[in-house]
Amino acid sequence: MPKNYLLIPGPTPVPQDVLLEMAREMINHRGAEFSNLLKSSTELLKKIFKTNNDVLILTASGTGGMEAAVVNFFSQGEEVLVGICGVFGERFAKICKAYGLNVKTIETEPGKGIEPETLEKVLKENPNIKGVFLTHNETSTGVTNNLRELAYIVKEKPERLLIVDAVSSLGAIDLPTDELKIDVVVTASQKALETPPGLAMISVSELAWNYNEKANLPRFYFDLKQAKKFLNEGATPFTPAVSILFALRKALENILNRGLENNFKRHMVLGKAVREAIKALGVTRLLADERWASDTVTPVVPPENVNPDELRKYIRNKFGVVLAGGQGGLKGKIFRIGHVGYVEPTDILVAISSIEIALENLGCKGLRGKGVQVAEEIFQEYYKD
Amino acid sequence: MPKNYLLIPGPTPVPQDVLLEMAREMINHRGAEFSNLLKSSTELLKKIFKTNNDVLILTASGTGGMEAAVVNFFSQGEEVLVGICGVFGERFAKICKAYGLNVKTIETEPGKGIEPETLEKVLKENPNIKGVFLTHNETSTGVTNNLRELAYIVKEKPERLLIVDAVSSLGAIDLPTDELKIDVVVTASQKALETPPGLAMISVSELAWNYNEKANLPRFYFDLKQAKKFLNEGATPFTPAVSILFALRKALENILNRGLENNFKRHMVLGKAVREAIKALGVTRLLADERWASDTVTPVVPPENVNPDELRKYIRNKFGVVLAGGQGGLKGKIFRIGHVGYVEPTDILVAISSIEIALENLGCKGLRGKGVQVAEEIFQEYYKD
C-alpha cells in the first residue's frame, strides 16, 4: 500500500495529535470533565464562526445540521428560498420539501455562483419569503458564493432569516457570521475543522431564536432549544460522540494557534496553485467559473478521451492519492481535488505530479512537470517571508 | 487522579484495542475500504441482533435511532402504544407526540416492568393500535421487560408493529429479534457494544418496510429507505462517523469471538453479584423489583441519611469509580451502578468495596467486606470451570 494522500473534500486528513485524542478513554458525559470539554469547544467554535450567537454541537453528519437548520425555524407551508449551485443546495431544498415548506429556488449552471441581481429580483417578486438558504461553498461544483454581496441583499429586509451551509468552508474560507448578519450557519467536523466526521455545529442568532418560538415543524433529536438548555448546564440532551469532541477541541486549538487568517491564506494559496496548475496542463479544464472558484475543492474536467474515474483509480493505486469523483449529474464527467483542512503545499505537489503521470499514461503526452512548475512558483512566493 | 472505573450505564469503558481503532487515519467514505467496513460491520451486527432483517447504521446517538423508529413507520394521527417504565420509555412517547401520533401509554411504578395482563388488556381495548413501543432494558429504573411474554402478546395480531428500544441491552441481555418477531430493534454503540458513542443501529423487518411504504411522517436525515438503498451499494447517504465504525467492527469481533452467550452469562453474573452485594449491606435497597431486575444497570436506594450524590462524589474522587445518579423523578434519590459492556468481576469488586468505604465514611458503620464477601462467592462459582 502506498502512503495515503486523502485529497477529497471531506472527510479530510486528520493530524496525528487530533487522531490520538480519538483514542482517549471514555468519560461520563454527565460529569465535570465533559462539561468543561463541551463548553470550551463551544467557545473555540465561536471564534471560528466569528460570532457571539449561540453555537450548538450535534452528534450527526453535516446533513443532520442542515435538517436542524430547517426544522427549528419554520412552520408548515411557509415560503423559503433555496439557492442551488449543486448537490448540497439541492439537499437543502429536499429537506425543506420533506418537511412541507413552500420552496422557491434559484438554480445556477454547474460551476456558477448566484448572481446578486437574480437574488434581488426573486426576493422582490416573492415578498412572502421568510427565509433564504444559501450554500457558502458548494462541494459538488467547486463554487464559493460571494456571501458578502448576497447576505446584504437578503438582509435588506432585516426580519428575513438567512441560513448558510458552510460545511465545506467554515475555518478555511472567511465567513464573518455576525458582520454579515447570518442568522444560522451550519458546519461539520470533517472538513476544514480537521476532525473525523460525526459532529455538526450550528450557530443561532437572536432573530432565529424568535423564529424558533413560532416554528411548528416536528423535531426531537435536532431540537436546538433543548440543545441550548442543556448546553447552559454544560451537557447535551443525548449521549454525544465524546471521542470526536476530544478531537475537535484539539483541532480547534491547533487552528486558532496557527491563526485563523493564516488558515484562510493557506487555503487561498492551495486553491490558486491547483487552479493554475490545472490550467497550465492545457488539456484539463476547471469546471467552476473563476469568479466563484472555491479555495477548498477544485472540480476538473478531464480531456475528452480520459475517463476521470479511471484516472482516479490509477492515481489511487500507484500513488495513494485519493481524489473525489463527480456527484449527481457530474458523475463520471469530472474529478475533484479536495484541498481543505489539514492539507499542505506538499500534498498538492504530489497530487499535481500524480495527475501529470496519469494523464501521460492515459495518452496525453508531454505534460510532465507543466502543472507542478506553476504550483511551485506560487508556493515559493507563499513561503517567501 | 486515581485509576478510572467508569461504571455508568453508558458510555461504557472501551477496550484498548477498540480505542486504538478510533485513532486510525481517515479514509474515503465513498471508497472500497469503507464499503467493506460498512458491510462487514452490518453482518456482524446481524449476529448480535439475532436477525436476518436489514440492519442499518446511523451517525447519531441512540435517541436518533429511536426517532428513526418513529418517523419511518407511521403516519400523522395513527394510534400507537408506548410502554413506559422510566425516562427512556417516556422518551419514545415524547418523540411519537412530537411527530403527531396518537399516543396511548402503559406506565409502571419505578422499578416495575410491564405486566403481560396489562398489555393484553390495553391492546384489546384499543384495537386501532398500529404499533407498540417497548423498552427492553429501562436504564433509568434498572428494569428489564420480559420481551418473550410481551412480544407474544403484541404479535397475537401479526400485522401490529413491535418496536423495541434495546439501547442498553443488546449484546448483554439475550434479545432474539427474529424468534420473538420484533419488527424494529434500536441500539447504540456506547453500551454493551463496547464502542464510543456516536452510532445508532436499527433492524427493520419486512412488515416494517411495508409500513414504511405508507408512512407519511416527515423524515430526511433518518430516512431508513435511503440508508438501505445506499447500504446495498456499500455506502451511507451522508458522511458517516468513519472512526466509530472502525472501532465498532473491532468491538463486534471481540464480542463474537468471546461468544455472545458467554457475554450474556457474564452480564447475568455481574448483575447478580451487584444485587446480592447491595442486599447484603442491609442499609441499601434495590430500586427494581427482582422479577425485572436488569443485568446491565442496578439502581440503588441509599440509607435515608445518605445523599446518593455525595456518596458518588466521594467514590469518584477517592477511588476513580464513576457511578451514575438518578434521572427524571429519581434525581437525588438513588445512585446507579452500570455493569454493561467491557466490565468484569474485578470492576464490581472495586465498586462494592468503594461503596462500603463510602457508607462507613458517611456514618453507616460495620459494613466493611459485607457486600464484597457475597460478590466474591458468586464470582468464585462463575470461575469454577
- Is the distance from CB of A199 to CB of A188 less than 8 angstroms? yes
CA distance B21 to chain A (A): 8
Q: Are residues A130 and A228 in the same domain?
A: yes
- Verify that B318 and B375 share a domain, yes or no: yes
Q: What is the dihedral of CA A269, A275, A278, A283, to 10 degrees?
A: -160
B59 contacts A196? CB cut-off 8 A:
no
ipTM: 0.97
pLDDT at A105: 98
CA-closest candidate to residue A83, choices A132, A143, A40? A132
Residue B32 has pLDDT above 90, yes or no: yes
**Among candidate residues B383, B322, B309, B313, the one with its CA nearest the CA of residue B351:** B322
CATH of the domain at A58: 3.40.640.10
Residues A325 and A312 sit within 8 Å (Cβ to Cβ) = yes
What per-residue confidence (pLDDT) applies to A90? 98
DSSP B193: T
DSSP B239: -
Q: For residue B22, list chain A residues with Cβ-Cβ distance below 8 A.
A: 22-23, 243
Question: CB–CB of A243 and B243 under 8 A?
Answer: yes
- Final residue of a domain: which of A218, A235, A257? A257
Q: Which residue of A has its CA nearest to B21?
A: A23
> How far is the alpha carbon of B72 from chain A, nearest alpha carbon, in Å?
13
Instruction: Specify which residues B336 forms β-bridges with.
Output: B299, B324
Residue numbers in B near A98 (CB within 8 A): 218-220
Give the pLDDT confidence score for residue B304 in this predicted structure: 94
pLDDT tens digits along B86-140: 999 999 999 999 999 999 999 999 999 999 999 999 999 999 999 999 999 999 9
In this structure, are B129 and B165 located in the same domain? yes
* CA nearest to A66 within chain B: B221
Cβ contact, residue pair A221, B13, below 8 Å:
no
pLDDT, position A136: 98
Cα B301 to Cα B283: distance, rounded to the nearest angstrom: 9
With CB atoms and an 8 Å threshold, state whether A63 touches B325: no
Contacts of A238 in chain B (CB under 8 A): 61-64
Residue A299, classed as helix, strand or coil, is strand
Asked if B24 and A19 come within 8 Å (Cβ–Cβ), the reply is yes
What confidence category does residue B8 fall into, taking pLDDT thresholds of 50, 70 and 90?
A: very high
For residue A98, the distance in angstroms to the closest alpha carbon of chain B comes to 6
| Partner residue facing A23 (CB), from B4, B20, B198 | B20
pLDDT classification of A2: cutoffs 50, 70, 90: confident
Mean pLDDT of the region B13-37 = 97
| Average pLDDT over every residue of A246-273 | 98
- Provide mean pLDDT across the span A144-166: 98
Q: Strand pairing partners for B144?
A: B137
Backbone φ and ψ for B245, nearest 5 degrees, come out as -70, -40
* 0.95 surpassed by pTM: yes
Do residues B248 and B318 share a domain?
no
Q: Cβ–Cβ contacts within 10 Å for residue A345, how many?
A: 19
Q: How many domains does chain A have?
A: 2
C-alpha cell at A290: 473563476
User: Are the Cβ atoms of A99 and B220 closer than 8 angstroms?
Assistant: yes
- Nearest in space to A145 (alpha carbons), one of A89, A216, A61: A89
Query: How much is the pLDDT for A17?
Result: 98
- Contact yes or no for B364/B308 (Cβ under 8 A): no
Summarize the confidence of residues B42-54 as an average pLDDT.
98
Is B23–A26 a contact, with Cβ atoms under 8 angstroms apart? no
Half-sphere exposure of A307 (CA within 13 A, CB side): 5
At B2, the pLDDT band (50, 70, 90 cuts) reads confident
Please indicate, yes or no, whether residues B350 and B370 belong to a single structural domain of this protein. yes
Residue of A nearest to B320 (CA): A27
B256: enclosing H helix or E strand: helix B242-258
The label of the residue with cell 477541541 reads A249
How many whole angstroms separate alpha carbon B267 and alpha carbon B260?
11
**Measured between CA atoms, how close is B83 to chain A, in angstroms?**
19
In whole angstroms, how far apart are CA A229 and each of A50, A56, A235, A238, A288? 22, 10, 9, 12, 42
B264 and B227 in a single domain? The answer is no
Q: Closest to A26 (Cβ–Cβ): which among B14, B100, B240? A: B14
Confidence grade of residue A291 (pLDDT, cut at 50, 70, 90): very high
Kind and range of the H or E element at A154?
A: helix A147-154
> For the residues A243-249, what does the mean pLDDT come to?
98
- Same domain, yes or no: A295 and A249: no
Domain boundary among B257, B279, B300: B257
pLDDT at A158: 97
Per-position DSSP letters for A6-43, written without gaps between them: E-SSSSPP--HHHHHHHTSPP--TTSHHHHHHHHHHHH
Specify which residues A137 forms β-bridges with: A144
Residue after which a domain boundary falls, among A212, A238, A257:
A257
Chain A residues near residue B94 by CB distance under 8 angstroms: 220
| For B97, nearest residue in chain A (alpha carbons) | A218
Write the pLDDT tens digit of every residue in B351-376: 999 999 999 999 999 999 999 999 99
Inspect the interface and report whether the beta carbons of B322 and A60 lie closer than 8 Å: no
State whether B238 and B276 are in the same domain. no
Q: Write the residue in A8, A31, A218 that is nearest to B28 by C-beta.
A: A8
Query: Scanning every residue of chain B, which has its alpha carbon at the shortest distance from the alpha carbon of A91?
Result: B220
Instruction: Report pLDDT for A385.
Output: 78
Q: Does the pLDDT of residue A1 top 80, yes or no?
A: no
Could you count the other beta carbons within 10 Å of the beta carbon of residue A336? Answer: 26
DSSP per position, B71-127: HTT--TT-EEEEEESSHHHHHHHHHHHHTT-EEEEEEPPTT----HHHHHHHHHH-T
**Per-residue pLDDT at B255:** 98
Q: Per-residue pLDDT averaged across A353-357, rounded?
A: 98
Q: Residue A185: what are its φ and ψ, rounded to 5°?
A: -125, 130
The per-residue pLDDT for range B149-187, each reduced to its tens digit, is 999 999 999 999 999 999 999 999 999 999 999 999 999
Residue with cell 462524589: B313
Q: Do B198 and A241 touch (CB under 8 A)?
A: yes
8 Å CB contact of A197 and B325: no
Of B101, B190, B239, which to mutate for an interface test with A (greatest number of A Cβ within 10 Å)? B239
Whether residue B1 is predicted with pLDDT greater than 80 in this model: the reply is no
**Cβ neighbour number for residue B32 with a 10 Å cutoff:** 11
Q: Do A67 and B221 touch (CB under 8 A)?
A: yes
Q: What is the reported pLDDT for B385?
A: 78
Buried b (16+ CB within 10 A) or exposed e, B54-81: bbbbbbbbbbbbbbbbbbbbbeeebebb
Let me know whether A131 and A235 are in one domain: yes
Residue A380 has a CB neighbour count (10 Å cut-off) of 10
Residue A27: its chain B contacts at CB < 8 A? 4, 6, 11
CB contact under 8 A, B241 and A12: no
Does A226 share its domain with A374?
Answer: no
CA dist., res. A66 & res. A133, Å (int): 10
**Mapping DSSP to helix (H, G, I), strand (E, B) and coil, where does residue B234 land?**
coil
Tell if the CB–CB gap between B26 and A20 is shorter than 8 Å: no
Average pLDDT, whole number, for chain A?
Answer: 97
Which chain B residues are Cβ-neighbours of A332 within 8 angstroms? none
What percent of chain B is modeled with pLDDT above 70? 100
How far apart CA B190 and CA A110 sit, in angstroms, is 42
A207 min Cα distance to partner chain B (Å) = 24
User: Does B201 share its domain with B322?
Assistant: no
Query: What CATH number is given to the structural domain containing A351?
Result: 3.90.1150.10
Nearest by CB to residue B26, choosing from A13, A24, A60, is A13
C-alpha distances (whole Å) from A40 to each of A46, A175, A249, A361, B365 are 10, 21, 8, 50, 42
CB contact under 8 A, A243 and B244: yes
Beta bridge partners of A336: A299, A324
Average pLDDT over residues A37-61: 98
Q: B23: which chain A residues are within 8 Å (Cβ-Cβ)?
A: 19-20, 22-23
* Cβ–Cβ below 8 Å for B6 and A23: no
* pLDDT given for residue B216 in this prediction: 98
Q: Which structural domain range is residue B134 located in?
A: 16-257
Name the minimum distance, in Å, from the CA of A179 to any CA of chain B. 30
Compute the nearest-CA separation of A81 from chain B (Å): 19
* Cell representation of residue B164: 423495541
Assess whether A175 and A70 both reside in one domain: yes
Are B242 and A31 inside 8 Å of each other by CB? no
Nearest-Cα residue of chain B relative to residue A15:
B25
- Do B241 and A198 count as a contact with CB atoms less than 8 A apart? yes
Query: Tens digit of pLDDT for each residue in A333-348?
Result: 999 999 999 999 999 9
Alpha-carbon separation of residue A255 from A45, A172, A249, B38 (angstroms): 11, 10, 10, 31
